[in-house]
């Protein structure tokens, strides 16, 4: 008899991720599933085996509060009250009287059809579905925990704490004393301290819905309780149109054709075009903020100006910068395709003297760069959008004209495996999680470009993951310490590179010598407890690396 072979935690976790994705794809093809059915239990068991860092104590008896905040910021308000959740394509709900609900941290249109049903529009591909189903699975696990703690075994009765919470939720308004008493009962239900509950209560509270946290916990428990006692099952469904359309680049093609029509209309297609995937403010601010705000910040450092512009209360300053940018050739294109990717086009030939922070290496109009900034894509959507954008532009008048793409630059947030929030990662290759697919490339940016700015800089391989909400320490430690030399993880790199390589090396729709730039700044360190995405945003920590990367990209463009 040979020795028994034991698997490592990294191998078990990899297997759990694989099972989750296979299950999700099967459920999508099938068209529906019930969270407490066989398929739903398979998803929950895989997630509990994986125990992703972002979901903290999901595998323990006590409730996971930071994970709950993270998930509900990415799902529509009121979803915890819905027995039926329907994932749909863009099926025209926008023309109905129903107002869309847009989650604060994930731009997607959601519609509360009635008291029991929430429809969520999927226009960004499979990554969007994986993201939503993973978050919903977490919610179902947490709701079951509540049910198990409030239901008295072998009866249909509930504990006293639940009755008190129910009374509090049903009151129109709570006094401070009533609120604190309700929170004490909630703390007992969730297995958490009153101090922890109070802190999370404040994070959930809004002006229009101050008792949101109490209501969320109540509805999570109520639906699980209802299912346990009456057998009334919750259900997730996928519309027939969504299943038919997914994977056909429908939204990406509409998006790309609209943009290319505007490029051709402005006669910019023959000029050197530089695509930058970034946010909708850093390039505009880097170009025009100093000139636009000379009276407000006459002696200020650029970083002080950028920090002021990122502050919520400075809408007037941002308006001044936008107005100057528009006078100097900026074209803003708000998305109408459903991709949720807005675009800015900067025609640098229209920039007036002393209105820009950068100088051109050429004075010839035909050689002056056109800077094309697109908002962040989401996962596989990166391939769909860039692949369509780099195809020849076909109209009734021509059989297909090429756009003169000189470079593609990707700036993004990523999880770092060594270092902390705000530090930089410069990839030399991307590898695709769960496969042997790897994409080495020549990066025009290097670590030396960013030395001497007070930030740690790491150069190496980046792993493109199927979903950031599925990562755990064991897999990440393996990637980091093995010969893969992984420095960080993100969701789009492979998908961008796949589209760039096919357009430049195979289809020849853009130059084979297209320049590629990738640089990421750390939004979190999933290997450090308390530093995951669920621990909160970057705040002003992200301002310095964002504008440093933007500056390096723009300097290379203007000096090319």
Could you tell me the domains of the chain?
9-243 (no CATH), 247-559 (3.40.50.1580)
Among candidate residues 525, 519, 523, 526, the one with its CA nearest the CA of residue 542: 523
Q: What pLDDT sits at residue 1? A: 47
Q: What pLDDT sits at residue 483? A: 83
Helix (H) or strand (E) holding 433: none
462 DSSP β-pair partners:
430, 488
Q: What pLDDT sits at residue 14? A: 83
d(CA 182, CA 159): 14
In the chain, the N- to C-terminal Cα span, in Å, equals: 67
Are the C-beta atoms of residues 355 and 328 closer than 8 Å to each other? yes
Torsion of CA 443, 449, 451, 452, to 10 degrees: -160
Q: What pLDDT sits at residue 351? A: 93
d(CA 270, CA 333): 20
Q: Going residue by residue through the chain (560 aa), what tens digit of pLDDT does each one get?
A: 456 667 788 888 888 888 888 899 999 999 999 999 999 999 999 999 988 888 888 889 999 999 999 999 999 999 999 999 999 999 998 888 899 999 999 889 999 999 999 999 998 888 999 999 999 999 999 999 999 999 998 888 999 999 999 999 999 999 999 999 999 999 999 999 999 999 999 999 999 999 999 999 999 999 999 999 988 899 999 999 999 988 788 899 999 999 999 999 999 999 999 999 999 999 999 999 999 999 998 877 889 999 999 988 899 999 999 999 999 999 999 998 989 999 999 999 999 988 999 987 777 888 899 999 999 999 999 999 999 999 988 776 766 678 899 999 999 999 999 888 899 999 999 999 877 789 999 999 999 999 999 999 999 999 998 887 777 788 888 888 888 889 999 999 999 999 999 999 999 999 999 999 999 999 888 877 555 655 555 557 789 999 999 999 999 999 87
d(CA 31, CA 79): 20
311's tokens: 């502050």
Crossing angle, helix 160-170 and helix 212-230, to 10 degrees? 120
d(CA 376, CA 412): 8
């Amino acid at each position: 008899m040979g020795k028994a072979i034991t698997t490592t935690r990294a191998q078990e976790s990899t297997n759990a991720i694989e099972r989750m994705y296979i299950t999700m794809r099967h459920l999508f093809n099938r068209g529906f599933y019930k969270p407490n059915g066989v398929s739903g239990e398979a998803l929950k068991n895989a997630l509990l085996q994986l125990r992703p860092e972002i979901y903290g104590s999901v595998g323990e008896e006590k409730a996971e509060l930071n994970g709950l905040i993270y998930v509900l910021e990415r799902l529509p308000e009121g979803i915890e009250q819905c027995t039926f959740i329907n994932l749909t394509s863009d099926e025209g709900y926008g023309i109905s009287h129903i107002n869309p609900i847009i989650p604060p941290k994930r731009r997607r249109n959601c519609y509360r059809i009635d008291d029991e049903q929430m429809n969520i529009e999927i226009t960004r591909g499979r990554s969007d579905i994986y993201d939503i189903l993973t978050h919903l699975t977490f919610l179902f696990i947490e709701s079951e925990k509540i049910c198990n703690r409030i239901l008295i075994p072998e009866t249909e009765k509930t504990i006293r704490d639940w009755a008190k919470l129910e009374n509090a939720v049903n009151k129109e308004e709570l006094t401070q004393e009533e609120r604190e008493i309700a929170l004490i009962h909630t703390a007992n239900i969730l297995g958490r301290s009153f101090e922890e509950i109070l802190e999370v209560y404040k994070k959930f509270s809004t002006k229009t819905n101050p008792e949101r946290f109490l209501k969320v916990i109540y509805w999570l428990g109520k639906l699980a309780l209802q299912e346990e006692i009456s057998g009334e099952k919750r259900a997730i469904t996928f519309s027939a149109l969504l299943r038919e359309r997914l994977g056909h680049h429908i939204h990406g093609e509409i998006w790309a054709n609209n943009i290319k029509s505007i490029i051709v209309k402005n006669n910019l297609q023959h000029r050197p075009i530089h695509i930058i995937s970034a946010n909708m403010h850093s390039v505009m601010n880097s170009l025009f903020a100093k000139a636009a705000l000379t009276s407000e910040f006459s002696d200020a450092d650029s970083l002080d100006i950028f920090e002021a512009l990122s502050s919520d209360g400075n809408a007037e300053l941002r308006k001044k910068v936008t107005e100057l940018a528009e006078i100097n050739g900026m074209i803003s294109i708000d998305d109408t395709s459903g991709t949720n990717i807005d675009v800015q086009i900067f025609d640098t030939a229209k920039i007036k003297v002393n209105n820009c922070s950068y100088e051109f290496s050429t004075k010839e109009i035909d050689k002056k760069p056109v800077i094309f900034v697109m908002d962040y894509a989401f996962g596989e959507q990166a391939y769909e959008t860039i692949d369509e954008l780099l195809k020849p532009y076909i109209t009734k008048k021509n059989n297909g004209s090429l756009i003169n793409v000189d470079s593609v630059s990707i700036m993004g947030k990523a999880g770092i495996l060594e270092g902390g929030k705000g530090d930089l990662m410069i990839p030399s290759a991307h590898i695709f999680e769960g496969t042997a697919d790897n994409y080495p490339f020549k990066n025009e940016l290097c670590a030396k470009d960013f030395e001497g700015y007070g930030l740690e800089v790491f150069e190496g391989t980046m792993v493109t993951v199927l979903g950031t909400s599925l990562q755990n320490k064991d897999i990440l430690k393996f990637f980091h310490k093995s010969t893969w030399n992984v420095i960080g993880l993100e969701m789009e790199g492979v998908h961008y590179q796949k589209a760039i390589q096919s357009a430049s090396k195979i289809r020849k729709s853009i130059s084979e010598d297209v320049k590629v730039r990738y640089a990421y700044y750390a939004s979190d360190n999933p290997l450090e407890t308390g530093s995951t995405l669920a621990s909160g945003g970057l705040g002003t920590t992200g301002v310095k690396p964002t504008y440093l990367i933007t500056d390096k990209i723009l300097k290379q463009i203007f000096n090319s």
